[in-house]
């Protein structure tokens, strides 16, 4: 009985399908759909981790932005050299792309040659590997008779993880696959290539773009299929890329449009995320690899490792007596003796078993038929696991794309390359089937890249070439705005000469240097209630100021802002002043002070010839004003008359001051070192305390001025230069504030060498052509107009807005200073720039937005530098006036350009520092505008009147 049982047991054993024991043995490698879904979900989490700036540094899946922003659209064209390094073969190619024709129509021609890489170079020095690359390139060009005289654009497929900040740059993060080249990690591989090409000599190329093989594959397949948004490699290594919404890529500025992300999914599991799926064979493969602990996912999938996994499984089974009767050969013990090509051969449909037998015999084994069937099955399980894992990874990517696009169903194409996919007989079918099973809602097409990745790399380069040429042209356009140190030095010198000339009596000068009849900066003794009116900036302001003696910080202010309609600015003088009187009336009503007859100071921000503190004859309008019958008239008188006409209230107008003077006084109230006032707003101007002895014209008109007893204190020894401070009561006044009206610099042609055609246009279209040339290069009222002129030119040249010159773009004044400030803000994402432009009626895409921002930057930077150079002239003059080696001084500043623009003030200050190294200049923004300063001047003048 026992004998019967034993026989039947052995019989059943003999009868058992040999694949069953393999199935049992490799149970952990046979992944069910639930497990694949689990892996897919984990990979989705890794994608998010890699994309977020917070978790990216620690992420195993690196999610590298590639700076490839679009898939091919048929407009790509050109002839490119290409290098393809990192797959199983190193190739040099020539790719010709004809515009508007897909490959099927013969639009792309490729010639290529393989150059074997000597084994020792894979672990040698970086320069040696790249010298070989450069020499191969040169050899290829010679062989194909490609001209060595011309410069050739070159596309570089480099199939390793690189951190890119642009298409033509990439820092190698680490090697993978069989490369362990020394000295390149962390280096810009494009530069390394350029250097090697230079070393080799005789070849003139421009490396336009470096792309990963996944990206190049996506682009290759995208040339013929618009739905191709994913690139996949299953070759020596494995990896995938896909088009991600820019808004999800934290590491790249901008939130509009898409960018291809190289996932580097080979690193999935490097942080242990796949530990429960990893078998002892995977561990052994990893431990024996040259990068243990790295590329865990890749080591379960790609061609470099599949054969080795099979070998380790077969070896272990043999050792356990499950194969070859327990016999193990030396060959089977030797690493690399089963390759992925063997795996593919074993799984061939017809010859698979024969191939398996042959392989095993070659390994000095004597396999039975069952052994062959079993080993073939090991192969199948290992390669099936590979395609299953790829399917799980792809499912994660495709699900993400579907969710990003908010779609229930997704139609998409995956471009694929790599020897495993291309040569393994069952692989593609299995992969497609599992992906479709995991994602029933997606219609996925797989397209094999029939010509390698270089066509795609050439397409990327074609786009890069177009962008580079566009950038060159934009740069050329903006070049005249980029002033050299010498040019700025010259501006400083011209400003200085202009200041000096203006102080002389002889004839009119470009810089008017108008005496203000303000002799002192405040000292805190001012007190009482004053009305301040402020005309000439962006708005008209009425303000009530209440000074309490000795309480600098506690001046109480109440104000109201009124806009001045354009028709009033440019109507008659009477209308303008009637309007002001009406605003004042409203303000007094608002304050309940209609009957007070307040002493008033009038900030009037236009050039006025003054003979006393309370008279000012308008020399000429500037900025947008051109009300008739005002030039040549006393504006104080005009305001008094308007108030009289209104016959509702009365004011005691005690002082008229320029806004620069008001601003200086306002700031001097806080900081006694403040002896300069600067406005960088709608217009631009400076005032400063000049020595009376230098003001020839004032001396003639006023003679030396004696300070009367009781008037505010004069200048003490502010510079600490040791000179005697003035004694209260009998001091001779030494300084007067001069309103320079520096905006007029250049009205005599002295700035013509830096004036661009765009400035010429802006000047001609202004209300005062030929006047205020410096102001027209530097102030808020004009910067937007200059920008608009540049944009018009770029658009006409086809470099912007797809060449459409719209009515909006033709509209003067669309770019107010506030928009410039917003556009240039570093905190603003590109999408927001685009929103601003769209609000303005300009339909810009992402590339347009970048250019517009660049134009704004060039124009505003020039403005800030010019003002800085001008300021350097002013402070140096004051320093020299006082015979000092070193001057400490404060500038009180106001104006929207200075206060609101994100970079203007910094650039201005830097420039002033560079061009006036002997001066330590502090810039103090005025807090309540110039009104407080005007009120202070009024207080002093009023106190004098009362005495
Ligand atoms: C080639 C591409 O066809 O495939 C390469 O041109 C790519 O860029 C390679 O790296 C990947 O496959 P393998 O099997 O050569 O690593
Ligand atoms: C204000 C001052 O704060 O700034 C005005 O009170 C001055 O007197 C103005 O004219 C300048 O800035 P903007 O940007 O309004 O021209
Ligand atoms: C490796 C590389 C990756 C490449 C892939 C396929 O995983 O790290 O950059 O795309 O191999 O070649
Ligand atoms: C213009 C005016 C000037 C004023 C400046 C700033 O340049 O002419 O008086 O100070 O604008 O508002």
**How much is the average pLDDT of 535-559?**
80
Asked if 547 and 939 count as a contact pair (C-beta separation under 8 A), the reply is yes
Q: Is the CB of 601 under 6 A from ligand 2?
A: no
The DSSP secondary-structure symbol of 623 reads: T
User: What are 835-861's pLDDT values in tens digits?
Assistant: 888 888 888 887 888 899 999 999 999
Is the CB–ligand 1 distance for residue 759 below 6 Å?
no
Ligand 3 pocket, CB under 6 A? 86-87, 159-161, 176-177, 212-214, 233, 235, 237-239, 264, 266, 298
Query: For atom 8 of ligand 4, which residue has the closest CA?
Result: 606
Task: Give CA–CA dist 113/146, Å, rounded.
Answer: 14
**Per-residue pLDDT for 769 more than 70?**
yes
pLDDT grade for 698, boundaries at 50, 70 and 90: low
pLDDT, tens digit (0-9, with 9 covering 90-100), for 797-832:
999 998 999 999 999 988 888 888 999 887 766 777
> What's the residue count for the chain?
947
Q: Is 894 near ligand 2, meaning CB less than 6 Å away?
A: yes
- Quick check: 15 pLDDT over 70? no
Measure the CA–CA gap between 744 and 622, rounded to whole angstroms.
10
Reported confidence tier of residue 98, pLDDT bands at 50, 70, 90: confident
Supply 772's token pair.
């205020």
- The yes-or-no verdict on residue 110 having pLDDT over 60 is yes
Distances (CA, A) of 249 to 45, 532, 823, 825: 15, 52, 21, 20
Lowest mean pLDDT among 153-162, 194-203, 612-621, 805-814: 805-814
Cα–ligand 1 centroid distance for 451 (angstroms): 10
pLDDT exceeds 90 at position 568:
yes
What pLDDT does residue 685 have? 98
Q: Is the CB of 453 under 6 A from ligand 1?
A: yes
| 3 state DSSP class of 233 | strand
Cα 238 to ligand 3 centroid, rounded to whole Å? 5
Over pLDDT 90: what percentage of the chain? Answer: 77
Q: Whose CA is nearest to atom 14 of ligand 1?
A: 235
Of all atoms in ligand 3, which is nearest to the CA of residue 266?
7
How far is the centre of ligand 3, averaged over its atoms, from the C-alpha of 725 (Å)? 78
Atom of ligand 4 nearest to the CA of 606: 9
Is-contact 166 136, C-beta < 8 A? no
Distance CA 231, CA 397 (A): 11
* Ligand having the closest approach to the CA of 216: 1
Classify residue 831 by burial, with Cβ atoms within 10 Å: 0-12, 13-18, 19+: middle
Task: Give the CA count within 13 Å in the CB-facing half-sphere of 609.
Answer: 13
What is the Cα Rg of the chain in Å?
A: 40
Residue with the smallest CA separation from ligand 3 atom 11 is 237
- The pLDDT of residue 256 is 66
**What pLDDT does residue 658 have?**
97
Pocket lining: 536 vs ligand 2, CB cutoff 6 Å: yes
Ligand 2 site, residue 679, Cβ cutoff 6 A: yes
* Residue-wise pLDDT tens digits, 321-373: 999 999 999 999 999 999 999 999 999 999 999 999 999 999 999 999 999 99
- Sign of the alpha-carbon torsion through 849, 830, 63, 392: negative
Find the 393 Cα to ligand 3 centroid distance in Å: 15
DSSP letters for 505-525: -SS--SS--EE--------S-
Decide whether any atom of ligand 1 lies within 6 Å of the 365 Cβ. Answer: no
Confidence of residue 471 (pLDDT cuts 50, 70, 90): confident
Whether 40 is in the pocket of ligand 2, judged by its Cβ within 6 Å, is no
| Residue 743 beta carbon below 6 angstroms from any ligand 4 atom | yes
Q: Are 275 and 78 in contact (CB under 8 A)?
A: no
Between 882 and 12, residue with greater pLDDT:
882
State in Å: Cα 352 to ligand 3 middle: 29
pLDDT score for 166: 92
Q: Higher-confidence residue: 76 or 301?
A: 301
Query: Catalytic positions, please?
Result: 541, 605, 659
Read off the pLDDT band of 4 (50, 70, 90): very low
* pLDDT tier, 945 (very low <50, low <70, confident <90, very high otherwise): low
pLDDT tens by residue, 230-259: 999 999 999 999 999 988 999 887 666 789
**Model confidence band, residue 6 (pLDDT cutoffs 50, 70, 90):** very low
- Residue 924 C-alpha to ligand 1 middle, in angstroms? 62
CA dist., res. 470 & res. 489, Å (int): 32
CA distance 23 to 378: 8
Which residue, among 192, 211, 165, has the nearest Cα to 458 in the 3D structure? Answer: 211
Strand partners, 736: 690
Ligand 4 contact, 660 CB (< 6 A): yes
Which H/E stretch holds residue 330? helix 330-333
pLDDT for the residue numbered 76: 79
Structural domains of the chain ordered from first start? 64-226+243-261+451-471 (3.30.420.40), 272-448 (3.40.367.20)
Distance CA 921, CA 909 (A): 8
Give tens-digit pLDDT for 253-296. 766 678 999 999 999 999 999 999 999 999 999 999 999 999 99
Nearest atom, ligand 3, residue 160 CA: 9
Q: How far is the CA of 773 from the centre of ligand 4 (A)?
A: 13
The pLDDT, as a whole number, for residue 707 is 39
Residue nearest to atom 3 of ligand 1 (CA): 452
How far is it, in rounded angstroms, from Cα 701 to Cα 612?
10
CA-nearest of 71, 61, 174, 58 to 400 is 61
Contacts of 869 (CB under 8 A, 6+ apart): 488, 489, 491, 492, 495, 911, 912, 915
* Residue 116 DSSP label: P
Residue with structure tokens 């792809």? Answer: 394
Which of 541, 557, 659, 898 for mutating ligand 2's site (highest number of atoms within 8 Å of CB)? 659
| Mean pLDDT computed over every residue of the chain | 90
Q: Of 275-279, 314-318, 553-557, 902-906, give the lowest mean pLDDT range.
A: 553-557
CA of 220 to the centre of ligand 1 (A): 12
* Residue 134 pLDDT: 97
**pLDDT at residue 103 greater than cutoff 60:** no
Answer yes or no: is the C-beta of 896 below 6 A from any ligand 2 atom.
Answer: yes
pLDDT for the residue 596: 86
Of 821, 751, 820, 830, nearest to 785 by C-alpha is 820
Average pLDDT (704-729) is: 36
Count of alpha carbons within 13 angstroms of residue 39, beta-carbon side = 26
Q: Whole-angstrom Cα distance, residue 189 to residue 944? A: 76
State the closest ligand 1 atom to the C-alpha of 216, by its place in the atom list counted from 1: 8
Cβ-count burial of 781 within 10 angstroms (0-12 exposed, 13-18 middle, 19+ buried)?
buried
> Is residue 7 scored above 60 in pLDDT?
no
- Which residue's CA is the nearest one to ligand 4's atom 4? 605
How many angstroms does the Cα of residue 416 sit away from the middle of ligand 1?
10
Q: Confirm or reject: Cβ of 264 under 6 Å from ligand 4.
A: no
Q: Show contacts of 753-757: CB within 8 Å, 24+ apart.
A: 753/487, 754/480, 754/483, 754/487, 754/491, 756/480, 756/481
Probe residue for ligand 4, chosen from 659, 677, 897 as the CB with the greatest number of ligand atoms within 8 Å: 659
Tell me the helix, strand and coil percentages in the chain, rounded to 5: 45, 20, 35
Residue 944 has pLDDT above 80, yes or no: no
Tell me the mean pLDDT in the region 58-70.
94
Taking residues 865-876, report their average pLDDT: 98
């Amino acid at each position: 009985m026992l004998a019967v049982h034993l026989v039947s047991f052995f019989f059943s054993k003999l009868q058992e399908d040999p694949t069953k024991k393999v199935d049992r043995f490799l149970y952990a490698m046979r992944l069910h759909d639930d497990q694949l879904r689990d892996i897919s979900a984990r990979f989705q989490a890794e994608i998010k981790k890699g994309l977020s700036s917070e978790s990216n540094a620690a992420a195993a899946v690196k999610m590298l932005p590639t700076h490839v922003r679009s898939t091919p659209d048929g407009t790509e064209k050109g002839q490119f050299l290409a290098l393809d390094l990192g797959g199983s073969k190193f190739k040099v190619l020539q790719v010709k792309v004809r515009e508007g024709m897909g490959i099927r129509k013969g639009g792309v021609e490729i010639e290529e040659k393989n150059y074997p890489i000597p084994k020792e170079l894979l672990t040698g020095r970086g320069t040696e590997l790249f010298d070989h690359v450069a020499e191969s390139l040169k050899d290829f060009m010679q062989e194909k008779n490609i001209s060595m005289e011309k410069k050739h654009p070159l596309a570089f497929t480099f199939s390793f993880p690189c951190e890119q900040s642009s298409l033509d740059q990439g820092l190698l993060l680490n090697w993978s696959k069989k490369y362990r080249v020394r000295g390149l990690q962390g280096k810009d591989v494009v530069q390394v290539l350029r250097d090697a090409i230079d070393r080799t000599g005789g070849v003139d190329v421009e490396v336009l773009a470096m792309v990963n093989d996944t990206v190049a594959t996506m682009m290759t397949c995208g040339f013929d299929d618009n739905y191709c948004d994913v690139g996949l490699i299953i070759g020596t290594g494995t990896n995938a890329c896909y088009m991600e919404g820019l808004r999800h890529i934290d590491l790249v500025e901008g939130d509009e449009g898409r960018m291809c992300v190289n996932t580097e999914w080979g690193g999935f599991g490097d942080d242990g995320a796949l530990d429960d799926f990893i078998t002892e064979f995977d561990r052994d493969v990893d431990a024996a690899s040259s990068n243990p602990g790295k590329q865990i996912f890749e080591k379960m999938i790609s061609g470099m490792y599949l054969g080795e996994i099979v070998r380790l499984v077969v070896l272990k089974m043999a050792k356990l007596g499950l194969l070859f009767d327990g016999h193990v050969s030396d060959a089977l013990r030797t690493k690399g003796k089963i390759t992925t090509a063997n795996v593919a051969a074993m799984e061939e449909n017809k010859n698979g078993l024969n191939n398996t037998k042959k392989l095993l015999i070659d390994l000095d084994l004597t396999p039975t038929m069952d052994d062959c069937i079993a080993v073939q099955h090991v192969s199948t399980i290992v390669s099936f696991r590979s395609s299953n894992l790829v399917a799980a990874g792809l499912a994660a990517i495709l699900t993400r794309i579907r969710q990003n696009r908010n779609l229930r169903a997704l139609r998409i194409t995956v471009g694929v390359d790599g020897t495993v996919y291309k040569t393994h007989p069952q692989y593609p079918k299995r992969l497609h089937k599992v992906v479709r099973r995991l994602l029933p809602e997606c219609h996925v097409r797989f397209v094999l890249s029939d010509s390698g990745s270089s066509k795609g790399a050439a397409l990327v380069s074609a786009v890069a070439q177009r962008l580079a040429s566009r950038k060159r042209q934009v740069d050329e356009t903006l070049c005249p705005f980029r002033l050299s140190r010498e040019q700025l030095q010259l501006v400083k010198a011209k400003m200085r000469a202009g200041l000096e000339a203006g102080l002389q009596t002889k004839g009119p000068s470009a810089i008017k240097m108008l005496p203000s009849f303000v002799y002192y900066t405040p000292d805190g003794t001012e007190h009482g209630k004053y009305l301040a009116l402020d005309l000439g900036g962006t708005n008209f302001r009425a303000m009530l100021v209440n000074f309490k003696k000795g309480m600098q910080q506690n001046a109480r202010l109440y104000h109201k802002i009124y806009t001045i309609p354009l028709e009033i600015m440019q109507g008659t003088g009477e209308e303008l002043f009637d309007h002001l009187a009406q605003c004042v009336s409203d303000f007094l009503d608002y304050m309940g002070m209609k009957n007070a007859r307040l002493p008033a100071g009038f900030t009037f921000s236009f050039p006025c010839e003054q003979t006393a503190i309370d008279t000012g004859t308008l020399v000429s309008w500037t900025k947008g004003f051109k009300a008739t019958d005002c030039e040549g008239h006393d504006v104080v008188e005009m305001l008094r008359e308007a108030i009289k006409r209104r016959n509702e209230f009365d004011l005691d107008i005690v002082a008229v001051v320029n806004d620069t003077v008001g601003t200086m006084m306002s700031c001097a109230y806080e900081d006694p070192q403040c002896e300069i006032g600067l406005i960088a707003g709608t217009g631009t101007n400076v005032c400063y305390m000049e020595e009376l002895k230098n003001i020839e014209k004032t001396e003639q008109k006023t003679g030396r001025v004696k300070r009367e007893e009781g008037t505010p204190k004069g200048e003490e020894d502010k510079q600490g230069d040791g000179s005697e401070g003035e004694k209260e009561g009998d001091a001779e006044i030494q300084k007067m504030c001069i309103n320079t009206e520096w905006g007029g610099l250049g009205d005599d042609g002295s700035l013509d060498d830096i004036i661009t055609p765009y400035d010429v246009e802006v000047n001609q279209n202004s209300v005062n052509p030929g006047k205020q040339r410096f102001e027209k290069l530097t102030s808020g009222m004009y910067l937007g107009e200059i920008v608009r002129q540049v944009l018009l030119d770029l658009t006409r040249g086809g470099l912007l807005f797809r060449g459409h010159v719209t009515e909006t773009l033709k509209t003067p004044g669309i770019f107010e200073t506030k928009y410039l400030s917003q556009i240039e803000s570093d905190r603003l994402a590109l999408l927001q720039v685009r929103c601003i432009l769209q609000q303005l009626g300009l339909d810009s895409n992402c590339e347009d937005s970048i250019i517009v921002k660049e134009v704004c930057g060039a124009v505003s930077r020039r403005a800030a530098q010019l003002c800085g150079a001008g300021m350097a002239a002013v402070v140096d003059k004051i320093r020299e006036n006082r015979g000092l080696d070193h001057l400490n001084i404060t500038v009180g500043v106001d104006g929207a350009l200075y206060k609101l623009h994100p970079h203007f003030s910094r650039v201005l200050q830097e420039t002033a520092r560079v061009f006036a190294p002997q001066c330590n200049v502090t810039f103090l923004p005025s807090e309540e505008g110039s009104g407080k300063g005007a009120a202070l001047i009024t207080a002093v003048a009023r106190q004098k009147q009362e005495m």
